[in-house]
Homo-oligomer: A and B are copies of this chain.
Amino acid sequence: MSPDPTTERYRFDRDTRVEKLADGEFAAALTDAWTTFTSHPNGGYVLGTALNALRQGLGQPDPLAVSAFFLRPAAPGPVTARTEVVREGRRTATGQVVLEQNGKEVLRATATYGDLAPDPAARVLTLDTPPDLPAPEDCPVPAEFASGPQGLSIADSVEYRYPARPGWLDGKKDGSPRAEFWMRFADGREPDVHALPSMVDFAPPAVLEIGEFTTITVELTVHVRARPAPGWLACRVFTKHVAGGLHEEDMEIWDSAGTLVAQCRQLAMLL
């Protein structure tokens, strides 16, 4: 791996770095800086590593739609990414990546890339509003988030700002599975289209507010809708339907200019 000042500077870029071994084959190493409640690396972070390999072979700059199936929990350590160009079209390029660890497939993602360069002539219709949040500096930082709870290293890599202290931190289980909050990388890395498919999975699950702490993602789809402006990201996460041991979780990310930049829905299983 040749040192690249861009990828050396920020943790997310260092930790999702891939080394090309052959056409369609890449090596990477998952780190322990993105672990969650499950003590496994966050699925969005794992996906970010896989996409970092996939996009090397695609002739379009921006991920438009990414769907990832999480097959086994990943662990910190070496992984292999195998990529396939499915179709290169005029406006879009589609590819697939399989991430393997210890010889077993942990994630399979398919993605269509395109060009999200701003087009002043394109029609814009926005029938929703960004989260209505106090300024980030006016949001208290729960001690649990500031210190990085035991085993929850993602809270060291990502900064969260909630308008009020989340009830689940105090053991409340009767809340609403919906939250709005600010988010950014802790080391000042600005958001971009390549980080968004990871960041949509960085929210503490909305179902924590109803006492469900062990949920694993089956499938996650993210649509990146615009290139984000620098600064804090305003996020909205919510679950409307829990049934049969499954729930969906929706996540929206709006940038500092008030533009919706990513929409995500995942299907998750309660254990």
Q: Measuring CB to CB, which residues of chain A are less than 8 angstroms from any residue of chain B?
A: 64-65, 67, 69, 71-72, 86-87, 89, 91-92, 94, 96, 105, 108, 110, 112, 114, 116, 118-119, 122-128, 176-177, 210, 218-219, 221, 223, 225-226, 239-248, 259-260, 263, 265, 267, 269-270
A67 CB to nearest chain B CB (Å): 4
Assess whether A69 is in contact with B91, with CB atoms less than 8 Å apart. no
A45 CB to nearest chain B CB (Å): 20
A118: chain B residues at CB < 8 Å are: 244
A86: chain B residues at CB < 8 Å are: 69, 71, 105, 108
Assess whether A128 is in contact with B94, with CB atoms less than 8 Å apart. no
Number of copies: 2
Q: Which residue of B lies closest to A126 (CB)?
A: B241
The residue from B96, B126, B128, B218 contacting A92, defined by CB atoms under 8 A apart: B218
Other 17 A-B pairs with CB < 8 A, given A71-B89, A122-B243: A67-B221, A71-B87, A86-B105, A92-B218, A112-B219, A122-B244, A123-B243, A125-B241, A125-B243, A125-B247, A126-B243, A127-B241, A221-B221, A223-B248, A226-B244, A241-B263, A265-B265
A58 CB to nearest chain B CB (Å): 13
Q: Which residue of B lies closest to A98 (CB)?
A: B86
A240: chain B residues at CB < 8 Å are: 126-128
Assess whether B122 is in contact with A245, with CB atoms less than 8 Å apart. yes
Q: Which residue of B lies closest to A121 (CB)?
A: B245
Assess whether B242 is in contact with A110, with CB atoms less than 8 Å apart. no
With A87-B105, A96-B108, A240-B128 given, is the CB distance from A119 to B223 under 8 Å? no
18 A-B pairs (CB sep. < 8 Å): A65-B219, A67-B221, A69-B110, A71-B86, A71-B89, A72-B87, A87-B105, A108-B110, A112-B267, A119-B245, A123-B270, A124-B242, A125-B242, A126-B240, A126-B243, A127-B239, A127-B241, A219-B221
A87: chain B residues at CB < 8 Å are: 71-72, 105
Alpha-carbon distance between A89 and B105 when the two chains are bound, in angstroms? 12
Assess whether A67 is in contact with B67, with CB atoms less than 8 Å apart. yes
